[in-house]
Structure formats: C-alpha cells, structure tokens
Structure 1
Amino acid sequence: MILCDIGNTYIHFCDKYRIWKNLPTNIDKKNLQADIYYISVNPENEKKLLKAHKNSYNIAKIIELDTPYEGLGVDRKAACLGIDDGVIVDAGSAITIDIMHAGRHRGGYILPGLASYFRAYKQISPALDKQINFGISLDEIPLDTQTAISFGTLKSIVSCIKETIGGKKAYFTGGDGKFLAKFFEQSIYNEMLVFNGMQLSIERALKKYEEKK
C-alpha cells in the first residue's frame, strides 16, 4: 500500500517510511508497484495520477475530524489527526495554520506560501525580483533590497504564526516546514504528519468495518 497526497504543485508519496515527490507531469511509475490510497486538493493533478496508476483510490470520505470549520481541506484534516493539542503548520504552496485542543479542531487560517510572496514582489516591480535570503536575522533592520524583501516576507509569516502558537506546541510539515520550524523553540518538524493522519483514518475505517461484520 502506497499513500499519496496530491497537492497543487507536487504529488507526494509514502511507502511505509520512504517519502518522495513527483511533478504531476512526471510521475515515476517505477516506484508505484502497489495500490495507491490518496487524498487530493487538485482535481487536475488527481487526473494525472489516475492516468499513471489505475489502482488508485480516493480516501477523502474516511478522513474524519471533529471541527466547526466549514470546507476544511482534506489535507488539513489529515495533518491535524493524531494531534490532540497544539498548532499544526503545513508550509507548502500555501501555509495553513490549524489549532487543535482536546482532540477537536478549533479553527485555522491560510497564508500564501513563500514562493507566492516572491511572485507577488516580482509583479510589483522588476527591481523587486530577488531571491530569498534564508540566512537573514529577523532582529536587524535590512539595509538592502534583497534583505528587505526576505525580512518582510519572513517577519510577517513568523510573527503571525508566533502569535497563534503562544505557549502551545507547534507541529510543522510541508516543503518549507523544516525551514520555518527553526524560528520556533517549541516546534516539532514531522514530514509524515499528513501520511500519519491518512494511516490513522484507514485503521479506524478497517476497525469499523470489522465491528460491523
């Protein structure tokens, strides 16, 4: 069994503890030698997976999370499952921040991903078409444009998340999650967070099925 998380930019796969990602237009079929159980937030990329591997099954219906939030994405549900208390930050194409308390999802919000910030700067002016400087200090006022853009991006994201976290534990995942986690003392980076939630949902569904037999 291979687990699959279909995002807006990449398709992520997990075979036990081995994780890899492919662009939707370049799925490596050699790695897909078992049935695939997937969730998806992008219908077009989902079609590409189904074309590459027919034995693929959408498990969105069994991803259940106690929440008052309307329209919560299936990937956010999966990331939150298994976390009773804390803040879950999934930093991918978008950065989603969700709050869990006493096993219940209390709400959350969405920020643009790092790449989206820099595309926005580029659209404002060619002079702002700069690469992010990941080594900047957020305690020093910038003295050049590249640092200013990097500072503005990171400071706004980190400050917003820090206010939400407060004294709680923070769980980071996603492509930029490992980098962002460095700004928080109480952070835990876990690239398996979404896949763990999917696995938990499958186990719960199988248990319900066995109990009905």
Structure 2
Amino acid sequence: MILCDIGNTYIHFYDRRRIWKNEPKKIEKKELHSDIYYISVNMENEKRLLKAHKNSYNMSKIVELQTPYKGLGVDRKAACLGISDGVIIDAGSAITVDIMEKEVHLGGYILPGLASYIQAYRQISSALDKKLNLAVSLDELPLDTQSAIGFGILQSITSSINGIIKDKKVYFTGGDGKFLSKFFAESIYNEMLVFNGMQISIDKILKKNRENI
C-alpha cells in the first residue's frame, strides 16, 4: 500500500520505507505493485494521478477529526490527527496553523507560503523582485532591500505563530517546515505528520471492521 498526499505544487508518496515527491505534470504512467490511497486538495492534480495510476483510491471521507471548524481541508485534518496537544504548522504552498487540545481541533488560520510572499513583492515593484535572503537576522534591522524583504516575510510569519504558541509544543511539516522550525527553539519538525494521520484513519477503519465481524 502506498499513501499519497496530493497538494497544489507536488504530489507526495510514502511506501513505509521512504517519502518522495513528483511534480504533477511529470506523473508517469507505470504499474505499481501496491494500491495507492490518497487525499487531495487539488482536483486537477488528482485527475493527473488517476490518469497515471488506475489503482488509486480517495480516502478523504475516512479522515475524521473532532473540530468545530467548517470546511477544514483534509490535509490539515490528517496533519492534526497524530497530535493530541500542540500547534501544528504545515508550511507548503500556503502555511496553515492549527491548534489541538486534548485531541480536539480548536481552530486555525492560513498564511501565504514563502513563494507567495515573494511573488507579492514582485507584483508591487520590479525593485522588489529579489531572491529571498534566508540568512537574514531577525535580531537587527536590515540595511539593504534584499534583507528587508526577507526580514518582512519571516518576521510576519514568526510573529504570527509566536502570538499563539504560549506554552504549547509546536510541530512543523511541509516543504518549508524544516526551515521555519529553526526560528522556534522548542519546535519539532516531522515530515510524516500528514502520512501518520492517514495511517491512523486507515487503522481505525480496519479495527472497526474487525470488531464487526
């Protein structure tokens, strides 16, 4: 069995041994020796997977999370399922921030991803079309435009997250999660959060089926 997380930028796979990703347009038609169980937040990319791999099954309906939030994305549900208490941050095309307490999802919010921030600066002015300075210090004011852009992006993200952490543990996942986790002393980076939640959902269904036999 292969688990698959279909996002807006990449399609991620996990086969119990490793995680890998493909660009949606580069998904190849090839036979796999296992069925694919997937969740998706992008219908076009989902269609690409189904065209390339007929033995693919949408498991979104079995990913259940106790929450008052209306319309919570299935990827956010999966990322939160393995965390009883804490702040869960999935930093991908967008940066989602969610709070879990006693296995209940209390709510969350969405920020642009790093790439979206950079694109926004480019749209403002060609003078702001700069590569993100990932080494910028947040302890002192920048003295050049490239650093000023990086500072503005990272300061807005980290300040927002710091405002809700309080005494909670912080868990990062997603493509930019490892980088952003470095700005938080007590953070934990786990690239498996979404896949862990998917596996928890599958295990619950299997257990329920065994009990009904």
> Quick check: TM above 0.5?
yes
SS at the partner of 1:123?
helix
Counterpart of 1:166? 166
Q: 1:31 to 1:183 in 2, by over 3 A?
A: farther
Q: What amino acid is the match of 1:45?
A: N
Structure 2 portions without partners, runs of 5+: none
Per-residue deviation, residues 136-173 of structure 1 (Å, max 9, x unmatched):
10011010000000000000001101111122100000
SS at the partner of 1:20?
strand
Per-residue deviation, residues 24-76 of structure 1 (Å, max 9, x unmatched):
00024568431000000000000000000000000001000000000000000
1:73 equivalent to 2:86? Answer no
Maintained 8 Å contact 1:99/1:105: yes
Maintained 8 Å contact 1:132/1:150: yes
Maintained 8 Å contact 1:85/1:101: yes
Maintained 8 Å contact 2:31/2:53: no
**How big is the shift at 1:186?**
1.1
Q: TM-score, normalised by structure 1?
A: 0.98
Q: 1:187 to 1:64 in 2, by over 3 A?
A: same
Per-residue deviation, residues 84-143 of structure 1 (Å, max 9, x unmatched):
000000000000000000110000000000000000000000110001111110011010
Counterpart of 2:178? 178
**How big is the shift at 1:17?**
3.2
In the alignment of these two chains, the number of paired residues is 213
Tell me, in whole angstroms, the C-alpha distance in 2 between the residues paired with 1:64 and 1:35: 22
Tell me, in whole angstroms, the C-alpha distance in 1 between the residues paired with 2:129 and 2:62: 43
Tell me, in whole angstroms, the C-alpha distance in 1 between the residues paired with 2:21 and 2:96: 20
Tell me, in whole angstroms, the C-alpha distance in 1 between the residues paired with 2:83 and 2:13: 21
RMSD value over aligned CA atoms? 1.0
**How big is the shift at 1:209?**
1.2
Tell me, in whole angstroms, the C-alpha distance in 1 between the residues paired with 2:29 and 2:2: 12
1:1-213 → structure 2 map (5 Å cutoff): 1-29=1-29, 32-213=32-213
Q: 1:166 to 1:2 in 2, by over 3 A?
A: same
Q: What amino acid is the match of 2:53?
A: H
Maintained 8 Å contact 1:22/1:28: no
SS at the partner of 2:89?
strand
Tell me, in whole angstroms, the C-alpha distance in 1 between the residues paired with 2:17 and 2:169: 24
Structure 1 portions without partners, runs of 5+: none
Tell me, in whole angstroms, the C-alpha distance in 2 between the residues paired with 1:123 and 1:195: 35
Maintained 8 Å contact 2:30/2:52: no
